Homo-oligomer: A and B are copies of this chain.
Amino acid sequence: MKNKASFFKVLANEQKTKARVGEIKTSHGKILTPAFVPVGSQATVKGLTPQDLKEINSQVFFANTYHLYLRPGAKIIEKLGGLHKFMGWFGPLMTDSGGFQVFSLGRGELVKIDYNGVTFYSHLDGSKYYFTPEKSIRIQQQLGADIIVAFDECVPYPTTHKYAEMAMKRTHRWALRSLEASQQSKASKKQQFLFGVIQGSVFKDLRQQSAEFISSQNFDGLAIGGVAVGEPRKEMISVLDWVMPILAKEKKLRPVHLLGLGEIEDIFLAVEKGIDMMDCVMPTRLGRMGWILTKNSKLKNKDFRYDVTKSKFAKDREAPDPGCGCYLCQNFSRAYLHHLFRAHELLAYRLATYHNLFFMEQLFAKIREAIKKGEFLKLKKQWLEK
């Protein structure tokens, strides 16, 4: 691995908050932060081409180690030249550790955790697998993403302090093994950057302990995990209050990724506390269900979105999100999009996903601009004021 020194730099710190604008440099291009990271689980952001993602100005996306390991298989992707070539996306890419899916999809109660790793059963055909930190790193090396993540244990919410502490300690051991595996492997000729994951459920002492431990290790970036297996969103903002001050004290400059959170309100709260990257299935998954992101107060009925499948939009000739410059909003009415959803047409899912990701990229561009101008709080107020 090379050029690690210049992996991340901060371009602007906002004075009134911890919000910052940064730049991540990978061999497949740069990522301006704060950055939104869409999810493309099975080596595709559902319904969209790499060309679409370029139009949208998506900078990077997440592919899932668990999904790709099971289908089509990491070895096949490696033989075909790696994930970038496989999916025709030559910009920056991330893979997760597989941990989250192993614990959430891998046949629930049948998941068995031991000192070394996890036994789980494929959600596709029930066949049995065993993941270790070394295996997770090995698969992520075969996939060849630019940013990879240490193998961690995601505990469900709620859990006891006792269990959360045990899982956190295991995550720490696995973090060290992930780090070692990524440094030792002969396969790591590609420039890959490893992120360590901070766990500890919603317990202040554990989160602080985990932040101290993970940030003291030689990871290229830091991730705050454990959000997605059931923790309520409000709790996660508290987690940031405990963790971010510790990370701020570190001398080494590293990007901080918040795993699995991405509601509009969360974005502002997290960026304000210094978060650089966030991934979330919200814009893509909700888009496929007919939820259209908008800031328009006449349209949105909750969390900056409305349901275009509702009858009242059947004759509505307005653009889905007035003022939006995306292909959907420039060319089609709510009535047409409504019709596509009602008729279960493939184009519905594609167009709604396209708009929602475009919306997110526009928002993040505005956030970066506001931070540079020292106007982040003004922007936050514009968006979050009821």
Contact = CB atoms under 8 A, between A and B. Distances in A.
Interface in A90-135: none
A314 B76 contact: yes
A315 to B, nearest CB: 6
A48 interface: yes
Give the size category of A's interface with B. Answer: 35 or more
A342 interface: yes
Given A71-B343, A345-B42, A88 B331 contact: yes
A338 B87 CA distance: 12
B80 A44 contact: no
Interface stretch (A149-157, A265-273, A346-354): A346-354
Contacts of A81: 317
Given A51-B327, A86-B333, A71 B346 contact: no
Given A317-B80, A331-B88, A349 B346 contact: yes
A331 to B, nearest CB: 4
A57 interface: no
Nearest to A346: B47
A346 B349 CA distance: 8
A317 B78 CA distance: 12
Interface string A324-348: 0001000111011011101101110
Contacts of A51: 327
A86 B335 contact: yes
A27 interface: no
Given A42-B345, A343-B71, A335 B47 contact: no
A31 B9 CA distance: 56
A80 B335 contact: yes
A252 interface: no
Contacts of A351: 49
Contacts of A343: 42, 67, 71
A51 B350 CA distance: 13
Nearest to A89: B331
A25 interface: no
Given A44-B347, A347-B47, A88 B342 contact: no
Contact of A335 (B72, B315, B338): B72
Interface string A24-57: 0000000000000000001110111111000000
29 contacts: A42-B339, A42-B345, A44-B347, A46-B345, A47-B346, A47-B350, A49-B327, A49-B331, A49-B347, A49-B350, A49-B351, A67-B343, A71-B342, A72-B314, A72-B335, A72-B338, A72-B339, A72-B342, A76-B314, A76-B335, A79-B315, A80-B315, A80-B317, A80-B333, A86-B336, A86-B339, A88-B331, A88-B332, A346-B346
Interface of A: 42-44, 46-51, 67, 71-72, 76, 79-81, 86-88, 314-315, 317, 327, 331-333, 335-336, 338-340, 342-343, 345-347, 349-351
